[in-house]
Amino acid sequence: MAAALPAVVAVLALGLWAVSAVGMKVRAIDAANSAAIAAARGEDPQAVAAVYLPDGASVAVSGDGTVVRAVVTAPVRPLGPLTPPMAVSAEAAAPMEPGLT
């Protein structure tokens, strides 16, 4: 029992790390989708995406006249300072609304 306990704790920590990282990925996907749609409508994509993201996240928006693309990158430390930081990113695209440039 004493020999197996560290392995159980390690597996539990790895599971919590994975759930936290996947949760941030879902938030980044939502932010990218919302930012792309907002930019396609002529709204502020930064303000729309900020609702979903933690501090330090970035939103990059580009367009070619017919399609708007948003790329969101968010830093995440799933278990706090115990783990190295990693970046989670997501990309989304939306067609421009008619009449907008």
76-to-36, 66, 70, 101 alpha-carbon distances in Å: 22, 33, 19, 35
Domain assignment of residue 58, yes or no? yes
Question: Does any domain span residue 101?
Answer: no
pTM confidence score: 0.84
Total structural domains in the chain?
1
Question: Mean pLDDT in the chain?
Answer: 90
Residue 100 in any domain: the answer is no
- For the residues 43-72, what does the mean pLDDT come to? 91
pLDDT tens across 6-37, in order? 999 989 988 888 898 899 999 999 999 999 99
Give the per-residue pLDDT at 89.
Answer: 95
Query: Rounded mean pLDDT of 69-76?
Result: 93
Residue carrying the six token digits 């303000």: 47
In this model, does residue 3 exceed pLDDT 70? Answer: yes
The alpha helices in 42-77, defined as continuous H runs, are 45-50
